[in-house]
Every structure is written in structure tokens, then in C-alpha cells.
Structure 1
């Protein structure tokens, strides 16, 4: 077969690089801060104006949806440190888990393929078969050659997915001689959290002085944890708000507190370094409502920035409802962290069909097969 006489050389370009310790990091934590990372992201990412509110305040946006292409979004920042740890420990396989349309799992699969490391993904779904047509992140994860395992939709990490991952790691050791590294859901642990220490350092350098509030979606908790802990350690310049798209604020406070404790930050309480804003996960994780879809369509049409229906769409809508509500607690301008997830649009059947029907209903799409006629244009 032609075109098969080649081997990937991408691995040679992925090397551990020195990572400078942020100036604001306390001396007591410097020995915990990773000295190296695997440079994967196109960072620093831009911060620019996005939306103007009726009260004159402004919302800026940090474009972490532009950290790369196949590795786009917030997950790659965490994986720069996690995959560096994988290499330093001499592991030749990785195991992680997430939803069927997991951005995290897709990013892990792509990086593992680049590194020549075996990848195993436990994907939560309500289907016990592999008959569903692959789309979005599910399709992309499969293209990398990763091993995909479908598990129950409601399986929890600590009680089910972690034990399964540990069992799989033992099987890989026993049957294949592999040394597997288990990455927690979303890459949200005391290693991955440093990815958003790095992002926060960019914010300190690039963010307009008028910005006082930072909003971000909460799916696994690692991003908001990194921002909140870094903000606390650097002197609390901002107010950090997390908007859960699954679980609850209480769940994320517990998760952030665990990372705070793992870092040895005595006396620091999660509730004191960030605020969770419940009430905006809609119909549930990965399920969008028509109101959420309308919001995404409007934002895209008016600003040219795509939001996904799982994370950034819900979080941005929640942020705007909070800011538009006239609450006096949100003083100053705000920064929205765009965490990416664009591929999720193609994996949400409800969003795709709703958008197509909306196009037809409002005349966005029309037929112009006869060149002798004038096309129909909406008002």
C-alpha cells in the first residue's frame, strides 16, 4: 500500500522545558511547583473586549479556546504538567475518563498519540452499545487509535471509575508489561492545577486594570481551583466566580478544598477564595435547552466567537444573567475565561438539529438553484 513507509517524528518536538516559578508564589510552595512542563499550548492566549453592558461596565474574554487546534481549550494547560509527570515517571500508557464527548479525553488521546503512548479512555454514556454514530470528541478520540470503553452514564469517579482505572492498570501491567498512569477526570488534581497558575500569571500581566471579576465554567473543578488558589497566593486582586455546569457548588467547594489541602495551604478555605454560582446548569450536564441555544446563536452572530453547549455556553449565559441583574456585588469590569470545547457542538444532536431548524425557520438558509432568479434574503 502506498504511503505507509513512514514513521511519526512528532515525538522529537515534544520535550520537557523549564518552567519559571511565578514571582508571586510563596517560598513555602516553590519546592512543590513543577520545574518543567511539556509545552503543548499556544500560550499566552489573548485577552480582548467582548461585551458591553447597559450600565457601562465591560466584559473582556480570555481566549483559552485558542490554546491550539486538536488540543484546544483549558484541558491542555493542565496536561502540560500532567503529561510531563507521565514522562518523568517512565510511564508508557495513560488511563483517564470522562463523558462520551469529553474535551479532556480527546486532548489526552491526541497528546498520547503524539508521544507514542498507549491511551485508554473510559467514556460515560447512556448507551451500552457502540452502535451510536461517532461525532464530535467521541469521533476524534477514536481517530487517535485510543482504546475506548463505554461505561454507565452515572458512574462516579471515586466509587467506580477510579477502581475500574486501577483494575485496567493492573491488567495492562500483567498482560502487556505496561506502566500506566491514571489521570483523574478533567485532569483536576494537585499536578494539573498548576496549569491555571500559569494562566493566572498571564492574566496578571495582560488583564486591563479595570477588571475586578473573573468568571469560568466548572465541569471538573481544576480550572477554577487553579485560578482561585493563584489569586489568593498573589494577593486577591480579583473576585473568582465559578459557574457549575454539573454537580453543585457544594461539590466543587469540597473538590477545591482537597486541592488546597494537597498543596499544604493551611488555614485556606475554598469558600473564602472563590464563589460558586449555582442555577445555570439547565437541564443537566451535556443537555442544552432552547434558551441556552438561542443565547449561543446570538453571541456567535454578534461577536463571531463560538461557545459550546456543555461548558462555555452555560457559563457565559449565567455570567450575563448575573451581571445584567443589577447586583451590586459585581463591581468593576469582568473577565470571562473561554475554556474551549468547540468540538462539543458537533456531538450534541439537540443543538445541531435545533440550529438547522432555526436556520430554516428564520430564513438564514435558503435555496438558490436557479441563477436567473434573485435569492431570498431575510430582512
Structure 2
């Protein structure tokens, strides 16, 4: 239950949002944010005795087609989608993040897009709500998309396609070393195969010759229609608090130093929040590093950090992370234990 009180969120120039992916095309991003920043400061309600923002139950409209109306500050962008499919558990909550060693009077808040759903987890579902609605409207019977061997986008697309009874064909990029090998069942690949996605090399033309009606989604779902997913997310944040943008710099895509992986482990141990090593982990690492090096710049600021999910990517880092975990071993069971009632054994 919500308490009756509410508190004002500081003006836009006092709040920083860290988004870990370029979800809005560059030529549209600045204009959209300028329009967004012109809105007046809003308030948000919080649950009694907690710092967790209120979210409404989304279960009743899950997997339904809904009409979409853009926010006023984005109504000039064309084409405007008319419908979406409700695929994610949205809006995702915002809560205070008690990170260690923050500069004086600095607050960090966390936007939990990692809680948008387990199989469709992360920010990808926001784009897919629009892309899948367009695919169904155009009469598609299958989806084609492309990504890396552990692509969060491909996994989310495969799950979304299955929800809507569409076949899914995934073209996965890999190294020359692995091109003739079975990529296995690790992380995102396991989920993709569980939901029956076709992991292979196939062209749109081949499917058309077979009489199929493919709908092609680009890498990451990053096209003009997918952009609306984060336009919708900005409106969601606007309803929860007033926000702006900032950025953090990492070393390279999907490449982690031991310091970054150790950081991911330490944050999980100290705050209970598990970050993925490719996006959110790198961004949080860069943010806290800059806070340590330039504390005056951050003092007294209130930061909203968007956790974009992608936790299954951790499985691809097991070999790198294992040495950082210290002394650990796998338990081996050599004999079973009789049950107290004498009937059979416990294991």
C-alpha cells in the first residue's frame, strides 16, 4: 500500500540518468531529450518505510495488443506506431541503490529494467513490444534477426516470437574458430533452443521461396520503430521522476578486465544487485570510478542508473570469473542416505 505522502524530485539539472546502451538514434536523441527536459518537475509516491517507487500490476494486460499514443514531446516523429504488444512487466520499479563509497550527499537510484521479465529480461523487450506488433500487423509468420553468439536481443526475440506463435530464425555471429562447431547450450543459447528457435544461416529470400512471410529485425532491434521502445521508457521514467542523461566509458564491447568482473562480484556481495558484465556492469564501474576520481563533480547529485538486464550473459564469463571467487569446490556425492522410514533413499 502506498503512503499518502509524496516528495518532489529535484529539477532536471540536478538529476543524472545513466543509460547503458544507445537506445535512441543520435539524430533524434537530443531533440527528444530537449522536449522531455522542458517538462516541469514532478513528484513520485513511495511505499511506506521504503525507497521503492510504486509500479502498477501488469498481469491483466500481458500479451495483449494495445493502442499506442506517443507523449506530446515525441508526437512530431514519424511514423508513429498505432499499437504495441504488452510483452514486458512494465513499468519497472525504481529504488535507492546503496552503493559503497559514494561522494558526500550523493544519491544513486536504480531503474530495474532487469525485472521486466525473466525470459524477456532487460531493455530488449521495450523495442520488441513495437517490433512484434508491426510484424503481426503485416501478416508475418516468422521472424529473422541477427546477433552475437550470446545475444540478449536474439534470446528475447526468440521468446517473444514463441509467445505470438511465430517461428524464429536466428543468425548468430561467431569467431572463425567456432564457425564449424556446435555453439552449445550456455546462457542465452539454452533459452533460444528451449523455445524452438532455428539457429542457422538462412536468408530472407530462401524463406520467401518456401512461401513463408518473414519479418526482419536488425541487430539489437535498433531501427526507427525500435526507438519507440525507449521513447516509451522515457515517458515511464517521467511519470516516476524527472531525469536527464550522462554517460560512462568502458574499454570495449563484451570485453572485460579482471577489475570489471571483480567489481560486478563485489557489487552483488555488498548490495544484492547482480549486474551483467557487458552493459550495466561496465557502466556502473565507470560511474563509480569517476566518482572516486572526481568526487566534487558528484557531490550532492541524485543519479538514476538504468539496469538494462542481460544477466544470462554472466554464464559466458564463468571461466574468467572463477579465479576471482577464491577457494571453492563442487560437492561430490558418493553415497546416498537411507530415509528415516526405511523406504528407499533420499538421493
Q: Per residue, is there more helix in 1 or in 2?
A: 1
Report if aligned partners of 1:286, 1:348 keep a CA contact under 8 Å in 2.
Answer: no
Give the structure 2 partner of residue 144 of structure 1: 195
**Of 80, 83, 104, which aligns to 2:153?**
104
**Of 331, 348, 351, which aligns to 2:317?**
348
**Of 307, 315, 318, which aligns to 1:338?**
307
Give the structure 2 partner of residue 241 of structure 1: 246
1:174-323 superposed matches below 5 A? 174=209, 176-207=210-241, 238=244, 240-243=245-248, 278=249, 280-281=250-251, 284-323=252-291
Give the structure 2 partner of residue 119 of structure 1: 168
Structure 2 distance, partners of 1:68, 1:47, is 15
Distance 1:304 1:327, change over 3 A: closer
Report if aligned partners of 1:345, 1:351 keep a CA contact under 8 Å in 2.
Answer: no
Q: Which runs of 5+ in 2 are unaligned?
A: 1-60, 335-347
**CA RMSD, 1 decimal:** 2.6
Distance 1:170 1:301, change over 3 A: same
Distance 1:319 1:178, change over 3 A: same
Distance 1:328 1:82, change over 3 A: farther
Give the structure 1 partner of residue 81 of structure 2: 34
Report if aligned partners of 1:19, 1:34 keep a CA contact under 8 Å in 2.
Answer: yes
Q: Which runs of 5+ in 1 are unaligned?
A: 1-11, 151-164, 210-236, 244-277, 370-379
Q: Which moved more, 1:337-346 or 1:198-207?
A: 198-207
Ranked by relative contact order (alpha carbons within 8 Å, sequence separation 6 or more), the top structure is 2
Structure 2 distance, partners of 1:194, 1:314, is 25
Count of residue pairs brought into register by the alignment: 269
**Offset at 1:288?**
2.2
**Offset at 1:202?**
1.4
**Offset at 1:88?**
0.9
Q: Deviations over 1:237-275 (max 9, x none)?
A: 52x2344xxxxxxxxxxxxxxxxxxxxxxxxxxxxxxxx
Secondary structure in structure 2 of the residue aligned to 1:24: helix
**Of 200, 204, 223, which aligns to 1:169?**
204
**Offset at 1:366?**
9.4
Give the structure 1 partner of residue 96 of structure 2: 49
Structure 1 distance, partners of 2:168, 2:206, is 14
TM-score, normalised to structure 1's length?
0.65
**Offset at 1:62?**
0.0
Structure 1 distance, partners of 2:331, 2:196, is 39
Report if aligned partners of 2:62, 2:88 keep a CA contact under 8 Å in 1.
Answer: no
Report if aligned partners of 1:120, 1:146 keep a CA contact under 8 Å in 2.
Answer: yes
**Offset at 1:302?**
0.9
Give the structure 2 partner of residue 262 of structure 1: none
Report if aligned partners of 1:21, 1:35 keep a CA contact under 8 Å in 2.
Answer: no
Report if aligned partners of 1:97, 1:105 keep a CA contact under 8 Å in 2.
Answer: yes
Q: Deviations over 1:5-33 (max 9, x none)?
A: xxxxxxx973321123224334x33x632
Structure 1 distance, partners of 2:331, 2:64, is 50
Give the structure 2 partner of residue 360 of structure 1: 328
**Offset at 1:318?**
0.9
**Offset at 1:198?**
1.1
Secondary structure in structure 2 of the residue aligned to 1:287: coil
Report if aligned partners of 1:118, 1:146 keep a CA contact under 8 Å in 2.
Answer: yes
Distance 1:91 1:32, change over 3 A: same
Give the structure 1 partner of residue 337 of structure 2: none
**Offset at 1:117?**
1.1
Structure 1 distance, partners of 2:327, 2:312, is 20
Q: Deviations over 1:150-170 (max 9, x none)?
A: 7xxxxxxxxxxxxxx7xx111
Report if aligned partners of 1:79, 1:195 keep a CA contact under 8 Å in 2.
Answer: yes
Secondary structure in structure 1 of the residue aligned to 2:73: coil
List structure 1 runs of 4+ shifted beyond 6 angstroms: none
**Offset at 1:204?**
1.1
- Is 1:65 the counterpart of 2:139? The answer is no
Structure 2 distance, partners of 1:141, 1:242, is 31
Secondary structure in structure 2 of the residue aligned to 1:299: helix
Structure 2 distance, partners of 1:21, 1:136, is 35
